Amino acid sequence: MATASVAFKSREDHRKQLELEEARKAGLAPAEVDEDGKEINPHIPQYMSSAPWYLNAERPSLKHQRKWKSDPNYTKSWYDRGAKIFQAENYRKGACENCGAMTHDAKSCMEGPRKKGAKWTNMHIAPDEKIETFELDYDGKRDRWNGYDASTYSRVIERYEARDEARRKYLKEQQLKKLEEKNSKNNGEGGGGEDSDEDDDDDELKVDEAKVDESKQMDFAKVEKRVRTTGGGSTGTVRNLRIREDTAKYLLNLDVNSAYYDPKTRSMREDPLPDADPNEKFYGGDNQYRMSGQALEFKQLNIHAWEAFDKGQDIHMQAAPSQAELLFRNYKVIKEKLKSKTKDTIMEKYGNAATEEEIPMELLLGQSERQVEYDRAGRVIKGMETSLPKSKYEEDVFINNHTSVWGSWWKDHQWGYKCCKQTIRNSYCTGAAGIEAAEAATDLMKANIACKATSEDAPAPAEEKKLATWGTEVPEDLVLDEKLLTEALKKEDERRREEKDERKRKYNVRWNDEVTAEEMEAYRMKKVHHDDPMKDFLN
């Protein structure tokens, strides 16, 4: 209501307002009026969607619904297209680097990129555009024809009229040409008139093959009711879009082992004719549509929603599809910006050979008219020697008192300095003295190696040493008694037999700690060598 939205400061103000309304109803107080001077009914809201029947409105109106008067502060004018305000003669700081206008930057410049911008040439400065700002009302912001110039539509009319005129002129020329040919045939041949009439009749009977016969269009125009739909009932209609000339997908390949056709869903996912020419096929299976067009974009949208949800973002494709699509668009924009930023960083650091100007062939081939003569040693005799071009890296930088750069000398698969022939990068230059010392050391090393090789060629004869019985060297004057050795061998055999058969072992065993040379020799001779491959053939 008109009075319901008023906020009262106290109960007294509220009581006075109620008394004023009662007086107005009784006609004792003047009624409240609106901007037009009309009386306001306190029982009817001033902002409603439709006026009730008891309002007794004189004519249909929407004055009670919203503010219908236009605000004078708003304007309905539009931008002055293509207007220029100032033409500068020299380049100004902060202007566009391409054209020289102050009203935009080089990124927003609509002029084609110049070979050298106005910032460097200071020529052909473009004029500044006229920039206007308007404060439009609600209707002005949403008026799709705001700023439209009706005179521009005359160009469209002129173009269509010119096309129609050219078509009429062409048809007229064709008709005149046919009449001339007909007259010439009639004059040349007396009985040619009947043949020409027959030809005209044949042309009229010909049917354009591109047009479809009306009998074939009957099924397309037929509208059928939708019965037993998934939603229930027979609501709505459906048009039969099938052309009867097309072969059903399950009849393309009658092989039992070919693509499977599901009669319930009428789907055939695989290609029924995988070996056929793709240019001649009009159907390649239902999977062909899943990986093309908007189906692929929808698949990428679902994958993005899943991955974003796994990473903790509140997104759901089925619950909020608009939000998911908006986030996916923002993701693609951010990804593209990051990709372009990375590309710009790499190009700024290493350069872009594709955008640079082509180097002239004269510089690439290095040809000139200068003549230079050399001797057999490679020294210049006549003329000036051409200077070698330098790269972007540091060259001719000598460190640690060296007179040549690192890598100027190569020996034994090692780089070094040519001035001192050292292969250590951070070494100090020793000059010619270092070269002589290195050569002397090399000669001495070679001599030592040769001396060692000659000494190793004739090795001293190795003396055959008999292993001692107690693990020491056998003395020169050791003589074994043959009888004692034979008895020691018999005792060793008996001892080994006793070890094999424990029943013959005696209870009281007497040990003799004294071992003679013959007994030790017998033990050594009877000892089994497990590493000997012929140990099984000894006994």
Sequence-ordered list of residues with C-beta below 8 angstroms from that of 283, at least 6 positions apart, any chain:
249, 252, 272
Question: Tell me, what's the pLDDT at 210?
Answer: 40
pLDDT tens, the chain, 539 aa long: 344 444 445 666 767 777 777 766 666 555 555 555 555 555 544 444 456 666 666 655 555 555 556 666 666 778 888 899 999 999 999 999 999 999 999 999 999 999 999 999 999 999 999 998 888 888 888 888 888 888 889 999 999 999 999 999 999 999 999 999 988 888 876 555 555 555 554 454 444 444 444 444 444 445 555 555 554 555 555 555 666 677 888 999 999 889 999 988 889 999 999 988 888 888 888 888 887 888 888 989 999 999 999 999 899 989 999 999 999 999 999 999 999 999 999 988 888 877 777 777 766 776 667 777 888 888 888 777 666 777 777 788 888 889 898 888 898 889 999 898 888 888 889 888 888 888 888 899 989 988 888 887 655 555 554 444 454 556 667 778 888 888 988 888 888 877 777 666 666 656 666 788 888 888 888 887 777 787 777 65
Question: Tell me, what's the pLDDT at 3?
Answer: 41
Start-to-end CA span in the chain (Å): 132
Question: Residue 410 pairs with which residues in a beta bridge?
Answer: 415
Length of the chain: 539
Compute and round to an integer the Cα radius of gyration of the chain.
56
Question: Tell me, what's the pLDDT at 291?
Answer: 79
Q: How far is CA 389 from the centre of its chain?
A: 39
- Strand, helix or coil at 410? strand
How far is Cα 66 from Cα 72, in angstroms, rounded to an integer? 17
Question: Tell me, what's the pLDDT at 30?
Answer: 56
Question: Residue 9 pairs with which residues in a beta bridge?
Answer: none
Type and span of the H or E element at 85: strand 84-86
- Strand, helix or coil at 270? coil
How far is Cα 38 from Cα 44, in angstroms, rounded to an integer? 14
Q: Which amino acid is at 121?
A: T
- Strand, helix or coil at 128? strand
How far is Cα 62 from Cα 136, in angstroms, rounded to an integer? 22
Question: Tell me, what's the pLDDT at 214?
Answer: 47
| Greatest pairwise CA separation for the chain in angstroms | 168
Question: Tell me, what's the pLDDT at 240?
Answer: 58
User: Contact, 428 vs 400, CB < 8 A?
Assistant: yes
User: Contact, 74 vs 136, CB < 8 A?
Assistant: yes
Q: Which amino acid is at 524?
A: R
Q: What angle is formed at CA 409 by the lines to CA 403 and CA 410, rounded to 5 degrees?
A: 165
- Strand, helix or coil at 163? helix
Question: Residue 235 pairs with which residues in a beta bridge?
Answer: none
Question: Tell me, what's the pLDDT at 531?
Answer: 79
Question: Tell me, what's the pLDDT at 341?
Answer: 94
Question: Tell me, what's the pLDDT at 1?
Answer: 39
